[in-house]
Amino acid sequence: MAHAVSGKVVAISGASRGIGAATAREFASLGAKVVLMARSRDAIVDLAGEIGDAALAVPCDVARYWEVEAAYNAAVDTFGSLDIVINNAGVIEPVARIEDVDPEAWGQVIDINLKGTFNGARAALPHMAGKGGTIIGISSGAATNALEGWSHYCSSKAAALMLTRCLHKEMGEKGVRALGLSPGTVATQMQKEIKASGVNPVSALNWEDHIPPEWPAKTLAWMCTEAADAYLGGDISLRDEGIRKAVGLI
């Protein structure tokens, strides 16, 4: 039987590496058309080349609304619709205490992690009007847990969780499924940056403590099915063994 995402058009931000790239490969393997969005043009062009005709690479800075809008228009022009949005783009640098952090750099993290998530959702709604769709944010334990040096990241993820709740409240009855995935710590470049910072307990974790990016990728595909409907308007945690079992990871 075909997977629920087969034939669907999926836009993935932050698709150049880590969870985003793994998610693009996973959705394409299930028969979806994938739109790869990232600032790193060469990386997404290479990934689109690897995936083939089912992939479209669109260089995009999610902090700029018009760029996200243009990427979605390209998706619809190429593949005919926009059915699923994975707001995965996110940054954590600079890790710094509030008293030391550069205000401009702090704000840039909000622009990507929060405004980028808003832009990803807002620009999708006109394409989903009347037919529904799924909008998923990448959340974090940091949304509800204060960590030293991560005031920008914790604040942006807390706000993005509330954005998911608001999206569900306003659009749920119109067929737009809004939910978030809190993947836990994943073996990606971001964890290398966290490790290098040496700040707070997350930086003390060993590489083998982190899950592979393929786990969140498989979970995101599962979240696009009715099996995840009980979690609409909130976060799904990959630390939850019940979720891992439901997705088929253990």
Q: Write out the catalytic residue numbers.
A: 153
Asked whether the CA dihedral 124, 133, 156, 138 is positive or negative, the reply is negative
Q: What is the DSSP letter of 22?
A: H
d(CA 69, CA 58): 11
d(CA 101, CA 94): 8
178: Cβ–Cβ under 8 A, 6 or more apart, which residues? 121, 134, 135, 136, 164, 165, 167, 168, 171, 172, 232, 233
Q: How far apart are the first and last CA of the chain?
A: 22
Rg (CA), the chain: 17
